[in-house]
Amino acid sequence: MLRSILWLPGALMVVAVLLDLIITCIQTGEGRLSRAIHRPLYGLLRRAAQHSGRRALLSWATPLIITGTLTAWTLLTWIGWTLIFWSQPGALVGADSGQPATFIACFYFVGYTISTLGLGEIIAPLPFWRVMTDVAAINGFFLLTFAITFVVPVAQARSERRELALLLHRAGPGAQALIVNAVQDHDRGLSSLTGDLQPLLNRLDSAHLNSPYLHRFHDHDRQDALDLHLPALGEALLIIQGALAGECPRGLKRALASVDSLSRTFERTQARHPLLKGAGVPPQPDLTPLREAGLPLNAPEVFREYLHSHAALRARLHAMARAGAWRWDQVATPEVDERPTD
């Protein structure tokens, strides 16, 4: 009796994976099943990095999450179809012996069916189960197609994340260094931090809106770390708008809006992360490097009030840096010869 209803949990597994594939790979966001896979894997990796004191372990988040997701999708689909075929004695038989297939034989049959190999060692003698075999094969084809759809955009987004991080690393590093170097060394001045970066910021913002789990990915090297350089860019844009006297460069509001949007997708992805809740608003920056560079500044109380109105954004940027195991001083005014933290 129990065996005859195993098709129900099996069907639920198959449907759950299909829905998760559609939501994760086609619709904007992260499916519930994917989220249930990503969070514990990411949490285990974070705890390992924290206990060992090695930040470099976080760089394994990308292969761990991708491999874990693909493995879970495949296993749930495989087990689901196995339960469906096993629920009916005689649904599958040996091609030569004609004997009903055992559970292991059903598992083997489903494996080569959803992988579209079609070995033919086990067959479905009844028309209904022949049709179900075709459905399982189509399901396997969908699984393979969506797996590629899942991996390829991640690889593209990773490349663009590194591109922006590398640009900011070479332009800075650090929030105030970004400003000083833009004014002194770039022919477009502060516009290099607003208009020039806008297309890349828009692409990254779109990628993270479509795939918010990208915020769980980290890089080993400091120069590639978006979770370090994006907060530095955000802090630099806030300083430009709130602390520098005179007219703001064109494109500043759009660039700041993109940074704000990226920080909000981070908040949505990492909402339960303890670092997000405990990060707090970072201290008001010391603008001595800007004064020494001869840049005109607004009155301190004006800047203080401006930062207060953007406290939520700065708290999210602080949490983003901490999620990547970076300190705020590494974001604001890092030492020139500072080495990456392992």
Q: 256-295: per-residue pLDDT in tens?
A: 999 999 999 998 888 777 767 777 899 999 999 999 999 9
Cis peptide bond upstream of 9, omega within 30: no
Q: Which of 32-41, 76-85, 97-106, 316-325 has the highest mean pLDDT?
A: 76-85
Q: Residues 28-37: what's their mean pLDDT?
A: 86
Q: Which two tokens stand for residue 166?
A: 């590398």
Q: Residues 86-108: what's their mean pLDDT?
A: 91
Q: How many CB atoms lie within 10 A of CB 37?
A: 21
pLDDT band at 1 (very low <50, low <70, confident <90, very high): low
Across 71-110, b (16+ Cβ under 10 Å) vs e yields ebbbebbbbbbbbbbbbbeebbbeeeeeeebeeebbbbbb
Q: Flag the least confident range among 89-103, 162-176, 272-286, 305-319.
A: 272-286
Question: How do residues 285-339 score in pLDDT, each as one tens digit?
Answer: 999 999 999 999 999 999 999 999 999 999 999 999 999 989 999 998 776 545 4
Task: Tell whether the model's pLDDT for residue 52 goes beyond 80.
Answer: yes
Q: Which two tokens stand for residue 9?
A: 């949990």
- Mean residue pLDDT across the chain: 89
pTM of the shown model: 0.84
